[in-house]
Structure 1
Amino acid sequence: MLLVIAPSKTQRKEELPAAFQQTTTPQFIKKSNQLIDELKVLSEPQLAEMMKTSAKLTAATYRLIHNFTTPFHRQNAHPALYTFKGDAYEMIDGQSYGTAELDYAQQHLIILSGLYGMLRPLDLMQPYRLEMGLKFAAAGMKNLYQFWQKELTAAVIARLAATKEQTIINLASDEYAKVLDKKALQKNGCSIITITFQQPHAKGADGYKTIPIHSKRARGLMVDFAIKNRCINAQQLTAFTENGYLFSAEKSTDKSWVFRQEQQH
């Protein structure tokens, strides 16, 4: 079983837990360098036009691109799980993880990324801004989906082959999840379960609605739950009850699981 999540735009170094020992290198760092080389030829106005960012944010992104340096080491890069800081990541209690939790996370969690393709929790990374959905025609490809899809899908298939259950738990946003070729995954015996979180809402169907910020946090909570309980099959995730969420068998299908929050937290 593999848990798949999206990255976050917010990134900053977080202190590592006492049990932290070893870092790893992103699997597709050569392709990352290829993207950086192509980004370096763009001016700040060109970056701003492509990314639709303010002058201040564009300047910061420009600096990140031109400061990007490999090879990575602990002095110039930081582990991915302790760098991303968005709503989902704030709910992942990485500071409490011991060796067993870190080992599990490294084997069962992948973070999709526009620059790195995919990252394991202990992979070193440098901060960046490159969303998967950007219209960036890299290496003669139409966009980043085309640039990454074949290799990422093959890598996920290989990762799943080493696990007891060939199931992808999709906790990523649509923007990132669609980089994986679902038909190719299914052809290779991989099943995909997309998780949806719903919160109480007066205007929602049956009194429930997906509220983005709460759903992002719930994704992080589920990742944390899986890591702390070292879940090895999807069925174990139906026991997730953090922040008042309960699995709704009635609203779920084989490929789409719904968790409803019984009360706001």
Structure 2
Amino acid sequence: MLILSPSKGQQQSTAPPGVITTVPEFLPQAKQLLASLRTLSPDELTALMRLGPSLAERTYAQLHTMELDSLLTAGSPALLTFRGTAFHGINARQCSAADLTFAQQHVRILSGLHGVLRPLDRILPYRLEMGTPMPNEQGKTLYAYWAERITTHLNKALAQEQQPLLINLASQEYARSVLRSQLIAPWLDIQFKEENGEQLKTVTIYTKKARGLMAGFFIRHRLRDPEELKGFTEDRYRFRPELSTDQVWLFTRPAS
């Protein structure tokens, strides 16, 4: 099982012919969050999400026109909706129907609004980061609202795997929403670094792209054995066993 962060960049898309889309598991909980957000004034929303005036105006309008009940029959597949750097690396529009079916079983996208999404779950474009300090019935943050639900969902999915393992390709902000101590499977962090002589450096934009490339590699090769991830060599990355542990695998490449 592989987890990803969502992206701010989103655009509605359609599923390829023959691909069956699905309803997000936590739609009722998402509707509760949406109802709470709609009680905020434009100024309160701006302060909560730390938005500029123009973006705040668009976000406020989006929240008040979004109809989540429409996802029961319509909407855009999550994996094809997100358009950030990582998702460009995945390039889901070039995936076959069989690839997307595999992704539906083995990939999850963490979400501030929906908690956790399967790739073919239908969504509407939204803006709500997991790190938003939003009071709710479970506590003062979205982590409090989602952590138990996300972890339970992942455990159910992991129980279906032949070799249960959670492969983390999410950012720290989103990975924090999983209660690692309650997982029924080991946790594996994947790191990407740039080589500069003897030094190794993390460059955020390159890491985002690499996460997407590895997720695409995982999907298109329909990997069943985690060891096969070590064969990932896209964009000149290579696995560094001498710098890796059982819990953290490091991939590096020469700096451009």
TM range (shorter): over 0.9
Report which stretch shifted further, 44-53 or 138-147. Answer: 138-147
Matches of 1:50 and 1:101, distance apart in 2: 38
Could you say what secondary structure the match of 2:120 adopts? coil
* Residue pair 1:134, 1:143 contacting (<8 A) in 2 also: yes
> Any idea what the Cα deviations from partners look like across 1:194-225, whole Å, max 9, x if unmatched?
000001336xxx32211000000000000000
2-structure distance, mates of 1:140, 1:211? 35
- Pick the aligned partner of 2:208 from 183, 192, 216: 216
Question: Tell me, what secondary structure is at the counterpart of 2:70?
Answer: coil
Residue 91 (structure 2) aligns with: 93
Per the alignment, do residues 124 and 54 of structure 1 end up closer, same or farther by CA in structure 2, a change over 3 Å counting?
same
Q: 2:192 aligns with which of 189, 193, 197?
A: 197
Residue type at the aligned position of 1:150: E
Instruction: Say whether the 8 Å CA contact 2:13–2:77 is kept in structure 1.
Output: no
Question: Equivalents in 1 of 2:62, 2:215: separation in Å?
Answer: 28
Q: For residues 246 and 138 of structure 1, what CA distance do their matches in structure 2 show?
A: 43
Equivalent in the alignment of 1:102: 100
- Which consecutive segments of 4 or more residues in structure 1 shift more than 6 A? none
Measured in 2, the distance between the counterparts of 1:87 and 1:100 equals 24
Residue 45 of structure 2: SS of its match in structure 1?
helix
Q: Say if 1:172 and 1:148 are closer, same or farther in 2 by CA, change over 3 A.
A: same
Indicate the residue corresponding to 2:131 in structure 1: 133
Aligned-pair CA distance for 1:73: 4.5
Per the alignment, residue 170 of structure 1 pairs with 168
Q: Is the 8 A contact 1:12 1:83 kept in 2?
A: yes
The equivalent of 1:238 in structure 2 is 230
- Counterpart CA distance in 2 for 1:103 and 1:159 is 14
Residue 143 of structure 2 corresponds to residue 145 of structure 1: yes
TM-score, reference length from structure 2: 0.96
Amino acid of the structure 1 residue aligned with 2:98: A
Q: Which residue of 1 aligns with 2:5?
A: 6
Q: Distance in 2 between matches of 1:27 and 1:237?
A: 29
Equivalent-residue separation in structure 1 for 2:105 and 2:212 (angstroms):
17
**Alpha carbons 2:23, 2:72 under 8 Å: kept:** no
Partner SS state of residue 199, structure 1: strand
**Is contact 1:24-1:123 (8 Å) kept?**
yes
Change (3 A) 1:62 1:252: same
| Aligned with 1:257 (options 241, 249, 256) | 249
Q: Which amino acid aligns with 2:58?
A: A
Aligned partners of 2:248 and 2:70: how far apart in 1?
38
* Deviation per residue, 1:67-120 (Å, 9 max, x gap): 121323498521101110111001112122212101100001000000000111
Structure 2 counterpart of 1:93, which letter? N
Alignment of 1:121 onto 2:105: no
Which stretches in structure 1 are left out of the alignment for 5+ residues? Answer: none
Unaligned runs of 5+ in 2: none
Match among 68, 71, 76 for residue 69 of structure 2: 71
d(CA) in 2 for partners of 1:130, 1:151: 17
The alignment of Structure 1 onto Structure 2 pairs a total of residues equal to 256
Alpha-carbon contact 1:72-1:125 (below 8 Å) kept: no
Q: Which amino acid is the alignment partner of residue 43 of structure 1?
A: S
- CA RMSD in angstroms, aligned pairs only: 1.5
Q: Is the 8 A contact 2:79 2:119 kept in 1?
A: yes
- The answer (yes or no) to whether the contact 2:192–2:210 under 8 Å persists in 1 is yes
Partners of 1:143 and 1:129 in 2: how far apart?
16
Residue 232 of structure 1 deviates from its aligned partner by 1.2
Q: TM-score, normalised by structure 1?
A: 0.93
